[in-house]
Amino acid sequence: MDNFENNQNANSQTSSGDSKSWGPTIGLVIILALIIVGSLYFFINDESPIGPSANEPSVTDIENELGDFRSLDDSDELASIEADLEKTDLSNLDAELEAAAREIEEI
């Protein structure tokens, strides 16, 4: 009979201990819900532009400045590479590098 009472006391202690384990679980669920809601709030209200900014040139401006690359020869012969290199306009290369350096300094 004594074993029976010990088993009942042990069972009642474990059942009351189970109810205490819900507190951390509920707290974790609340914290995760707050993180998800906060992330969605910042994601929805983000006003940064997705597309190119006003300072960036358009694709057609770049194509006009660089020229038509379709006129380059597909050959890998040294003479054709030299001819393509002579056709290429590299006069604005320094200006582009300086503009890129200024943009990096602004960041």
**Model-level pTM greater than 0.85?**
no
Task: Break the chain into its structural domains and give their ranges.
Answer: 2-44, 59-106
In the chain, % of residues over pLDDT 70: 60
C-alpha count within 13 angstroms, C-beta hemisphere, residue 62: 5
Write the burial class of residue 84 (CB in 10 Å: 0-12 exposed, 13-18 middle, 19+ buried).
middle
- What are 57-104's pLDDT values in tens digits? 666 776 666 666 667 777 888 988 888 888 877 777 778 788 888 888
3-state secondary structure 37-75: HHHHHHHHCCCCCCCCCCCCCCHHHHHHHHCCHHHCCCC
Query: Residue 92 in contact with residue 65, Cβ under 8 Å?
Result: yes
Task: Give the pLDDT score at 29.
Answer: 95
Listed residue (72, 74, 95, 66) closest to 85, CA to CA: 72
67 CB-near residues (< 8 Å, 6+ apart) = 87, 88, 89
